[in-house]
Chain A
Amino acid sequence: MKIAVVGKGGSGKTTTSAVLARGLARHGHRVVALDCDTNPNLGLSLGVGDRETQRLVTLREQVGESDTEHAVSWAEILDTYGTDAPDGVRLSVITRIENPEPG
């Protein structure tokens, strides 16, 4: 199954996603947790810690900077740039905006 969690800021999207992901994993499902927030915090709620949450987005930025002609597959991204969260959840970060850009 594929589940997306949406809602107002501060309503508990990230917390709900993390508990869903770990709950499903505890039931024996293989779970990938994708953080698509431009301000990704899912790692904190899954329990991988502050530093690892930050490391993931730094890795993601490097993917964004590499040339797009040899775009990596989903599996590779998860393998190389994901991290293992508690209960066997695999976490990867999809989006982030860190540096101010003209807009």
Chain B
Amino acid sequence: MTGSRRLRVAFVGKGGSGKSTISGSFARLLARRGEPVLALDSDPLPGMPYALGVAIDDGPIPDDVVVEGPEGGPRWVLDPRCDADAVIEQYAATGPDGVKYLQFGNLWGHASTLQRAQHAWSQVVREVDPDRWHLVGDLPGGTRQAMFGWARYADTVCVVVEPTAKSLHAAARLLNLSTATWAPHHLVIVANKVTDPAEIEAIGARLGRPVASGLPLDAALADGDRLGTAPLDVAPNGAFAHGVEALIDHVESLDYPRDMREPS
């Protein structure tokens, strides 16, 4: 790690492409390097806990620390007595390797009230100390949330793509994030479930950008998926884990202008 730079990375891609699997493993492996990692999950059908090995499915920020916002401001805000640090301290779960996990909330069972937790989650993400935590985020599948700016906390957005026509189609659309006013500084293509190196080249050719990282299709991970076991626990030294380590190295090596971290 160079100096005190903290990573701010989010994962987007088609549903089922492996965002949760990769982001959860990325968070854990980064934490194993002795780094403070906050995993951010804005998927209302969360898959990240499985990859993190956190035993919760539904843990939104509770309603009793969320109050009505000021006139003309956001509908809901954190109780002024409770700041981002306090929310992380009290309501983020601690997973294996010391990853802190802050969830958007599982839509199932919360249809009417999740709005408060979502506002609170967004506020924490906006106000979290950027020098304290590495942020590793997981978005829901598809283009909707990404296009509406839910990954704007990240300066690096990883587009996860499988070597399938539909996944490539979604990835091509997601690359339009580069035209947003809040475009991330780096859009990184991560090829997942690769069975042949030629697929990596084909993905790069189709998307018109180099593929930064190729992760292999791993039968052990599929078995773990069926059992609900985290990839790093089912294959701690497998090719997938090594690939994610290399992805961390790659993201760390990216160049950022100094003023990137200044709030806009």
Contacts and interface: CB of A to CB of B under 8 A. Distances in A.
Interface of A: 8-11, 14, 37-39, 41, 44-45, 50, 53-54, 97-103
Contacts of A103: 147-150
Nearest to B16: A10
Interface residues of B, number: 27
A11 B17 CA distance: 10
Contacts, number: 74
A62 B147 CA distance: 19
B20 to A, nearest CB: 10
B21 to A, nearest CB: 11
Looking at chain B's contact residues, the main secondary structure is: loop
Contacts of B141: 8-10
A10 B15 CA distance: 5
Interface of B: 14-17, 45, 140-144, 146-150, 165-166, 169-170, 173, 176-177, 179-183
A44 B180 contact: no
Given A38-B144, A39-B14, A14 B173 contact: no
Contacts of B179: 99-100
B165 A44 contact: yes
A9 B181 CA distance: 28
A97 B144 contact: yes
A30 B170 CA distance: 29
